[in-house]
Amino acid sequence: MPEISAAKELAAVIDIGSGAVRMVVAEFGPQASIRRLESLSQPVRLGRDVFTSGRISAPVMRETIEILRNFKTVADSYGVKKMHAIATSAVREAANRDNFVDKVFLVSGIDVEVVEGTEENRLDLLAVENSLEARLQIGKKDCLIMEVGCGATEIIVLAKGKVELTRTLPIG
């Protein structure tokens, strides 16, 4: 485990997607510096279940919750106090999403936020801006940003850096 500076805080972010559950553990400090300490990804079949039957099956729910329990154990081993977990299109569209979110919390202690398409678009835009702003000056240009996921395609159109259009399409 990497050495962690006393002036820095730890956080973990979990993304529960249609095809995988991902977690990043990072430390961040007062100058907005971020250092990734751990990056984990485990495949899941949430999308296959939801996009064919409309529900998360019991076996896939158990498998996903076990992955989340393991991720929580890793985060706890780092001493993480701040954890944010989001779920996107597969969980969002599942008829039993509330049951899934409740079971995740009861078994793992992880509070999952199911994000709507508009929030997913906002998060995608922030990620692109954060990654590319220094090289592309997105705030001054016309851009088309697309994220093709397993369960949805997110589209963002920028005109001179201002959001003109966002769409979440149920195709992945």
pLDDT in tens, 48-94: 999 899 999 999 999 999 999 999 999 999 999 999 999 988 999 89
Ramachandran region, residue 161 (left: φ > 0; alpha: ψ -120 to 50; beta: rest):
left
| pLDDT value, residue 121 | 64
pLDDT the model gives residue 145: 79
Q: What is the 3-state secondary structure (H, E, C) of the chain?
A: CCCCCCCCEEEEEEEECCCEEEEEEEEECCCCCEEEEEEEEEECCHHHHHHHHCCCCHHHHHHHHHHHHHHHHHHHHHCCCEEEEEECHHHHHCCCHHHHHHHHHHHHCCCEEECCHHHHHHHHHHHHHHHHHHHHCHHHCCEEEEEECCCCEEEEEEECCEEEEEEEECCC
Distance CA 14, CA 83 (A): 8
pTM as predicted = 0.76
For 163, the token pair is 């959001």
Q: Which two tokens stand for residue 165?
A: 């259009």
Low-confidence ranges of the chain (pLDDT < 50): none
pLDDT of residue 27: 92
| Number of other CB atoms surrounding residue 133 within 10 Å | 12
pLDDT at 104: 97
